[in-house]
Structures are given as C-alpha cells and as structure tokens.
Structure 1
Amino acid sequence: MLTNELAPQLLALTAADAATSVVRGRSSRAGLALAAANGLALAHLTRQAARDERRLEQALTEAVGVGYADQLDDLPAPTGARGHVRSLVNPFRILTPDIEVVRGIPYSEAGRRGHLDIYRSRHLQHDHAPVLLQVHGGAWTIGEKDRQALPLMTHLASRGWICVAINYRLAPRDPFPAQIIDVKRAIAWVREHIADHGGDPDYLAITGGSAGGHLAALAALTPGDPTYQPGFEEADTSVQVAVPHYGVYDLAGATGLRSAIGMRDRFLAPRIVQRTWEEDPEVFEAGSPILRITPDAPDFFVIHGTHDTLVSVEQPRLFVSRLREVSKRSVAYAELPGAQHAWDIFGSVRCTHVVRAVDRYLTWHWNGYLRERGRSPVRAS
C-alpha cells in the first residue's frame, strides 16, 4: 500500500538518487538499469492512480446518470493543480486550522472505546448540516477513531458537513456482535444529539474502511434490528446512504469464495466471533451484509481495489451485483486498478480523487434529499 500510494514521491527520490550517483561518478550500468526499471514501475503506479479520477467519475455517471452534476447547486471543485501539488509535496498534512475537532465525547458506557470525535468547520454558517459517520477499520481488533479517513472528514467538514468518527469495542475482549451494537449506539446518539453541534438529525451518511466498511454496510442494511440494539430497540438506527471502502461483505462464506471461507474459519471464528461456523452459523449469516440486502436498502457507493490482498475484490463485486438486483436505490461501484487495502489513510493522489468523488456523490445525494422535502439545497460554508 505504501509503495502504491507514495509512488510519485518514491519516483522523485529514485530519480534524484540516480542523478546524484551519476554526478559523483559512483554509478554503474547495473545500478542505473535497476533505477530505470524501478522508475518505470513507479511511473506506472503514478499514472494508474491519476487515472482513478476518470474511473470514479464513470462509476458515478453509470449509477446516477450523466447529468447528475447538473443537480449539484454547489458543485465540488475538481482536484486541480494546487490539490495535486499539495498531495505530492506533503500527503500527510491533513488537518487544517479552519477545522474544529471536538474530541472524546461519550456515546456509550464502554469507556474510551465508547467515545466519538466531531469534525466541523469553524465557519459553519447554518444549522441542519448533513452528517457523516466514520467507522474505523482494523480487523475488528485494533484501530482508533482519529487514525483513518482524515482526508475525507477534513474535506467534507470544510464543505459544511458535520463528520463524526467513533471508537467501538474490539475483539477478542468483546466478541462480535459487540462492534455492530456500538455502531448502532453511535447512530442513535447522532440522531439524538447532533443538532446540538449543527447537524441535521434526520440525514446521516455512513462510511468506513475494511472492518469499518463491513460495519458501515451492515449498519446501513439492518435498521432497527433488535438483535443489534439490546436495550435501545426503539431507537432510529437508519441511515440515508452508505459509502464503504475495501469492506468485508461475507462473514459466513455464503459466496463460496475460498478466501471468504478461509477468513471465516481461520480468523473470524477463533478471534472475532469466538464460535465456529458449525456451532452457530446464524451469527455469521446475520453479520454478512451480502445476506442482509432488501429492496429498502439505502443508496450505496462501494469502492474497492483490484489488488487488495486482504479482502478479495470478488467480495464487493458479488455484493454490488446483489445490491443492484434487489435494492430500489442507487448503487455506484468504483473498482480501482492496482489499489491495495487501506489506500485512504493519508492524502495520496488516489485518495484525493476518491475524496472528491465521494464529495460529489454525497452532495448529489444530500441535494436530492433536500428537494424531496421541499427544502432548498444549502451551499457549503
């Protein structure tokens, strides 16, 4: 992942190192040949990431129509030269002074694992801003709310969104379904309290990567499921739209994929669920987003890399196929050639393109939501 996402920077270092060696007379033909081969490979990765902008836009137009941008009263600006330069010079510079972060707000009684952070613009000019809930990944066993999706949350916050990033209980200390129960508690908290922070409690998007992608998709597909809402069964845990990144969609091995069955038996059963498939297949099936799809599923924008070595790209392909077969809502799917797992942790070229595409999709969705309710779209602050 690091080589993929830092390919432009590594290419520049390779070229600088080769040039320095030539100037100092310390180069050899073999060394220069290796540097050239390395440079060509890095150039290919750089070009591949740059082309994701077109692929993402194509995914959106296929899902919601070629003229969808005409429905954006506040069209997000293209990445532009300045954005590319910023990504190339310092991809790790993410938070900016115009973003306020309110940290460590408790949403459950789970201690630090039941805390959330709120990202919003210091210049927010209106109430009832759209809300995005971010669920971190980490194989359901590790991870923190302030370590993932910062480029997306910072960008959307600067555009007038309220972004909420949550911790949740982790396995093996707390076996599944503790994780999805906590996500549901967080959704219920947002519905009840986000108006105090300038957000619209009636509009909630959800996103996450890897295990967070699994939990985001599962939460989106199981509103009001009492099994996942013990003690708060009456709470509204629905979401309007889901944007999972490189997620896991098959805990049960229901797709028949060898990789999914292997994950189920070698990792999920002993460490996350702490029950075998033979002992309790229901918990695996209930926790599989691909088996929870109904006609009432919310809108989805699924994003995955073709070279993901942790979660096979076959999982999202089958998940999206099933969504498109059953769901009555829009289903966008972007498959990114060459992309590995966890490509959105810092502001790489690929990440920048994904952030802008998610912005366009969510802006389209939010504006449509407002029009359905007879409200005028609100321009970002």
Structure 2
Amino acid sequence: MTVNEMPIIWISLGVVSLIASTDQIAPSNPMGLLAAALTVAAIGALAWAVIAAVRSRSVPMWALDVALPDGWRTSTDSPSVGRVVRGALLPFIPDRRGLAKVEHHRYGPDRRHRLQVFRRRDASAGVPILIHFHGGRFRGGDAGRDSLPLMRSLARRGWVCVSATYRLGDAGAFPASVVDAKRVLAWTRDHAHALGVDPTRVVVAGSSAGAHLAMFVALTPGQPSYQPGFESADVSVSAAVGLYGYYGPRTSEPISSPAQHATAAAPPIFVLHGDHDSIVPVDWARGFAQQMQRVSHHPVAYAELPGAQHTFDMFSSVRAEAVAVAVERFSNWAVGAGRVLTKGPEPVTD
C-alpha cells in the first residue's frame, strides 16, 4: 500500500537489479530476458506514479476551492519546490527541523489512554490544536504512528498537535473508543494552559478507523451518553478531517455510524480518500461526503486523490506533502472564519 508513495526508491532498486543481472540478459536466456522486461515494465509504471503524484498535488486545494467561500485563501497554497523534491527523493526520512522533543501524557486510567504532543521548540501560547486518532481497524495501531508528516508540518507552522490512542478490540467495542476520543478532547481543554493552546480552536482528525472516531466526535457534541463521568465537558470542535476513513456502522445498529448523527449544525469537514484504496472503497467515502454535503450548513470538502492507496501519508511523499498543505490551510480557515461563515443548505446531487 505504500509502494506508490515512494516510487523513486523502487525505481532505483529496479535499475540496480537490471545492472546486476546484465550478464543474464541474452537471446540464449529467455527467462533472463523475461525478467528484464518485467523489471523495465515495473520501472515504467513506477515512473508514471511519480508523474501522477506530482500532477495531482493540486487536487486537495482544488477541493477546498470548490467547498469554501470565495476569498478563503490567505497565503501560498502549494508545496514548495523543496518539499516536492524531498517528497519524491527522500519520503522515508522524517523532517523534524524546528520541532521539540515529543511529549508523552496520559489522559485516563486505562493503559491505552496515552497521547503524544508535537510542537515547535519556540512554540507560542494560545495557538490552535489538532487532535489526531490513528487507524488499525479498531484492533491495532498506536499514538504517533499515522499521519506524522501532517502533524510535523502543522507543528512546524505553530500548531500544537496531539496523537492519541484508545482502547482496542473487545475493550474498545462501540461506544468505548468513542468515549475515549471524547475524553481526549476533554483532557486537552482541561490542560489547555499547560499545553499552550487555545481551547476554542480545536480541529479533530483521524486516519482510517481514526477518521471514524474523528467524525463521530465532531457530529455528537453535547450527547452525555458518550461522555460517562464527564457529561458537562465541552467536546465541540471547530472542524474535522478524515483521511482514508471508514465511516460506516461498527455494529448492527446504524447509530454506530457517524453519518447517522449528521445535522445542519455539523462543523466544517474535509474528507480525503485515494481512488485506488483497496482497504476502504472510495465509493464509501464519497457517499459519506455527499451525505454530509446534503445535510450540513457548513462547508464539506471532498478530495479524491488520483492513484492514492490506503495510508497514503505514511511517508513524507509528494502526495502526503500536498495533503499536509491543504489540511493546514483548511484548519487555519476553520479556526478563524470557519465557525461563523456558513453556506446555504443547497443540496448536492449524487
């Protein structure tokens, strides 16, 4: 699933393989010729993946242009040449420049109630915060694993980012993991001063199963049944972001799907999904976004990324860098104008 996010590496390995096997490539060795032909074909396909990723890097920003009000852009909105080159040639090398050492905290009594905090070394006080939930089909995963390019990018630009884990498997069966996600929000607001964040500017995000939690949290503020023991805590958010997410029901009850909680008051939403996703079909994500567009009075942006697989932001690839820029711009807009500028309830046709 990550091959098409670092094709230059595989192209290089293919070239090395060809060079190393030149003595096997001869008319008298049909198997050697076949292997060489297959390697060349693979190199060609990977080269096309590089071209496609570079060409499609504007797709997330285009999706925001369609969904958000005119004049929403306030700064340069494309990855710099340096970020594109780095994403193509060195996607597996994390960029930690300017970032403080990752902080570790506990937000509840369970051993899975852990989170990590990403921030600049010279972080200011009163900055917005992004809270991210990892994927893993509600059975695996951990804090600080998914969407690291996004969180490091936002942290480098002044945000504080939190990566949280939650109960998994039987212990995290619905709605337990939802309760955990809301507990993270409550803990963050309770510790806003120590974290140096503005508790009124909170964006929630998630990858795969974590996107399910992010959307569920965003669509169910003030529902005490999902906040046992902290019913009065404010768990509302300024916006929500879903990355290659699953948004369907988790049990036989439709109520376990975030879409069942969609209302006109839903916060601004940004859904990003790869059209080659082999884990969560793109039709599912598209359907969720269209349903939210029909219901919500706030903008709902949907970006379908050409050639992208599941976990398309595991490495700092060209595509991951473009997604990070778009999510940053969307989040900046949401914590500023996003909560007061609304659009009319115009239906969106399928």
Task: State TM-score, norm by structure 1.
Answer: 0.83
2:108 pairs with 1:115? no
Q: What is the CA-CA distance between 1:35 and the residue it aligns to? A: 2.2
Distance 1:97 1:318 in 2: 39
* 1:310 alignment partner AA: I
Superposition misfits of 4+ residues, deviation over 6 angstroms:
none
Aligned to 2:155: 157
Secondary structure at 2:281 match in 1: coil
Q: What is the CA-CA distance between 1:102 and the residue it aligns to? A: 4.3
Q: What is the CA-CA distance between 1:138 and the residue it aligns to? A: 0.6
Give a deviation string over 1:303-335, Cα, whole Å, max 9, x none. 011121221111111111111111010111000
* 1:139 alignment partner AA: R
In structure 2, the CA distance between the partners of 1:17 and 1:80, relative to structure 1 (3 Å rule), is: farther
Q: What is the CA-CA distance between 1:40 and the residue it aligns to? A: 1.7
Q: 1:56 aligns with which of 42, 53, 60?
A: 60
Unmatched 5+ stretches in structure 1: 252-267, 270-276, 373-381
2:203 pairs with 1:199? no
Q: Work out whether residues 132 and 207 of structure 1, in 8 Å CA contact, stay in contact via their aligned partners in 2.
A: yes
Distance 2:280 2:34 in 1: 37
Distance 2:262 2:66 in 1: 21
Deviation larger for 313-322 or 156-165:
313-322
Q: Work out whether residues 6 and 348 of structure 1, in 8 Å CA contact, stay in contact via their aligned partners in 2.
A: yes
Q: What is the CA-CA distance between 1:190 and the residue it aligns to? A: 1.1
Aligned to 1:89: 89
Unmatched 5+ stretches in structure 2: 27-32, 342-350
Structure 2 counterparts to residues 167-182 of structure 1, below 5 A: 167-182=165-180
Structure 2 counterparts to residues 258-297 of structure 1, below 5 A: 268-269=250-251, 277=252, 281=253, 285-297=254-266
Distance 1:349 1:12 in 2: 17
Q: 2:37 aligns with which of 33, 38, 50?
A: 33
* 2:245 alignment partner AA: G
Task: State TM-score, norm by structure 2.
Answer: 0.90
In structure 2, the CA distance between the partners of 1:370 and 1:292, relative to structure 1 (3 Å rule), is: closer
Distance 2:70 2:288 in 1: 24
In structure 2, the CA distance between the partners of 1:121 and 1:346, relative to structure 1 (3 Å rule), is: same
Distance 2:176 2:98 in 1: 35
Secondary structure at 1:100 match in 2: coil
Secondary structure at 1:332 match in 2: strand
Q: What is the CA-CA distance between 1:169 and the residue it aligns to? A: 0.9
Aligned to 1:11: 11
In structure 2, the CA distance between the partners of 1:369 and 1:41, relative to structure 1 (3 Å rule), is: closer
Aligned to 2:106: 106
Q: 1:323 aligns with which of 292, 295, 298?
A: 292
Q: What is the CA-CA distance between 1:77 and the residue it aligns to? A: 6.1
In structure 2, the CA distance between the partners of 1:369 and 1:312, relative to structure 1 (3 Å rule), is: closer
* 1:104 alignment partner AA: H
Q: 1:304 aligns with which of 273, 278, 286?
A: 273
2:230 pairs with 1:232? yes
In structure 2, the CA distance between the partners of 1:216 and 1:160, relative to structure 1 (3 Å rule), is: same
Distance 2:267 2:236 in 1: 9
Q: What is the CA-CA distance between 1:76 and the residue it aligns to? A: 4.9
Q: Work out whether residues 76 and 356 of structure 1, in 8 Å CA contact, stay in contact via their aligned partners in 2.
A: no
Deviation larger for 215-224 or 3-12:
3-12
Cα RMSD of the aligned pairs, angstroms, is 1.9
Q: Work out whether residues 130 and 162 of structure 2, in 8 Å CA contact, stay in contact via their aligned partners in 1.
A: yes
Distance 2:142 2:235 in 1: 22
Q: What is the CA-CA distance between 1:338 and the residue it aligns to? A: 2.1
Q: Work out whether residues 213 and 247 of structure 1, in 8 Å CA contact, stay in contact via their aligned partners in 2.
A: yes
2:309 pairs with 1:340? yes
Give a deviation string over 1:41-78, Cα, whole Å, max 9, x none. 11222222222212112111111145322xx2xx2563
Secondary structure at 1:121 match in 2: coil
Structure 2 counterparts to residues 358-369 of structure 1, below 5 A: 358-368=327-337
Q: 2:282 aligns with which of 313, 336, 340?
A: 313
Secondary structure at 1:123 match in 2: coil
Deviation larger for 342-351 or 200-209:
342-351
Q: What is the CA-CA distance between 1:209 and the residue it aligns to? A: 0.5
In structure 2, the CA distance between the partners of 1:58 and 1:66, relative to structure 1 (3 Å rule), is: farther
Q: What is the CA-CA distance between 1:116 and the residue it aligns to? A: 1.3
Distance 1:88 1:154 in 2: 18
